[in-house]
Amino acid sequence: MSIIIGNWKMYKTRHQAVEFIKALLPLIQNCPNEVWLSVPFTSLQVCVEEAKGKGVKIGAQNMNEASEGAFTGEIAGQMLKEGGAEFVLLGHSERRKIFHETDEMIAAKVGKALEVGITPVLCVGETEEEREGGEEKEVLQRQIFQGFQKAPKDAYVILAYEPVWAIGTGKMATPKLAAEAHVFCRKILTSHFGKNGKSIPILYGGSVKPDTIQALLKENDINGALVGGASLDPKSFAAIANAR
C-alpha cells in the first residue's frame, strides 16, 4: 500500500475545501492506497470533520518549532494537534527558498512534531544547479541527516524526495532517476535509523500526474507520492490515489 499525499499549498477557502472532500470521497471508495491531504491552517478543522471516519488523513503544511510565544503569525504543533492534524509537511522547498528555512530550523520542527504526536513528513531535494553540479547526493545526505537529527531511532516519520526542478514545472523526474535517488535516500535512512530506516516510507514529489503515477509506484523504493498541482482537482487527485 502506497501513501498519496495532496499538498494544496495556499489554495482553497474553507468552502472550497469542503466541496473538494465531498467530491473526492465517492471517487476513492475502493482505494488501494492511503490518502492524506495537507491543507491550509484555516481549513484544517472543517476538513477533519468532513473526512472523519472516511479513511482520509488530514494534515498541515508547516508549523513553528516553539511550544508557544511571541511569534506573530506562527502556528504551534500543539495547535495543529488540537485542530486534528495527523501529520505536517516540513522543509518543503518553497519554505526553504521563499521563507529561508534552514536545516537547523527544520530539524527543530521535526523534533517538535514528534513530541506533540504529529507525523512529520520531511521534504528534501536538490535544485537544478545542484544536480547539474553533481551535488545531489551531498545535498540529500545533508538534508536528511540534519532534518532527522532530533528524531529518535524508532520514530514514525515519512520522507518526501522532491527535486526542486520538478516542482510545479511539469518536468517530472523519470521513474529511473527518481528510483536512483530513493535508493540513495534509503541508504541514508538506514544508516541514521538502523532497522527502522528500512520501513520509513519514501514518497516522490514533483509534477506527479494521473498518467505518470503508475510507473513511479512500480519502482521498489518509491512508496507513494506528494502531489501539488494535480491534488487541487478531486478527479485528478482520485486518479492518482487509485493507482496501483
Active site residues: 92, 162
Task: Pick one of 7, 33, 64, 143: the residue that binds ligand PGA (CB under 6 A).
Answer: 7
Report yes or no: 91 and 106 within 8 Å, Cβ to Cβ. Answer: yes
Measured distance CA(6)–CA(17) in Å, rounded: 12
Query: Which of 162, 165, 216, 223 forms a contact with ligand PGA (CB under 6 A)?
Result: 162
E-assigned strand segments in the chain: 3-7, 34-38, 56-60, 87-90, 119-124, 158-161, 202-205, 224-227
Say whether residue 6 binds ligand PGA (CB under 6 A): no
Q: Which three cell numbers stand for residue 39?
A: 491543507
CA–CA separation, 189 and 53 (whole Å): 32
Helices (H), 133-174: 136-147
228 binds ligand PGA (CB under 6 A): yes
How many positions of this chain bind ligand PGA (CB under 6 A)? Answer: 13
Print the binding letters for residues 192-221 with ligand PGA: x by CB under 6 A, - otherwise: -------------xxxx-------------
Using only C-alpha atoms, what is the Rg of the chain?
17
Nearer to ligand PGA, 41 or 190 (CB): 41
Residue of minimal Cβ distance to ligand PGA: 228
Residue from the set 76, 229, 242, 243 that interacts with ligand PGA by CB under 6 A: 229
Q: In terms of CB distance, is 167 or 217 closer to ligand PGA? A: 167
**Is residue 163 involved in binding ligand PGA (CB under 6 A)?**
no
Buried b (16+ CB within 10 A) or exposed e, 32-57: ebbbbbbbbeebbbbbbebbeeeebb
| Site for ligand PGA, rule CB under 6 A | 7, 162, 167-168, 205-208, 226-230
